[in-house]
Amino acid sequence: MDSKDQKRKFERVKYPCLLTVWQEDGSQDILFAVTEDISAGGASLLTDQSVRAGSKVDVEMSFDTYGLRINCKARTVRCQRAAQEGNLPANKFAIAIEFLDMNDQQREALRGLIQQLIKGGK
């Protein structure tokens, strides 16, 4: 386990749910993003546009297969051009977000979903 993994508070899982991210800085851009991985504390996203690190965003996550929809505020931790390795397209941006105001019920529902995905079940 590397030091990056040791710092994580929440388990992460790869799940390609669709996210809609509204930038809170007054811009009307709606970014559609797909998660690279997600945890109960944040997510790594792929999107067509960059988002300034440190900016606050409104996030809507839809896990249609599981009947779960979560709306919360988040902070952009970093944004960089996606790496040209594996299947990550070079014209995408990799964005890391931290969930800020997710309520306990939402966080527990997301945590339960992640545990289900880790175990490989629906």
Domain ranges of the chain: 10-118
- Any idea which fold 10-118 has? Thrombin, subunit H (2.40.10)
| pLDDT recorded at residue 18 | 61
Region of 28 (left: φ > 0; alpha: ψ -120 to 50; beta: rest) is alpha
Task: Judge residue 75's burial from the number of C-beta atoms within 10 Å of its C-beta, 0-12 exposed, 13-18 middle, 19 or more buried.
Answer: middle
Query: Would the pLDDT of 7 be above 60?
Result: no
pTM of this structure: 0.76
Query: Would the pLDDT of 64 be above 60?
Result: yes
| CB atoms inside a 10 Å sphere around CB 13 | 15
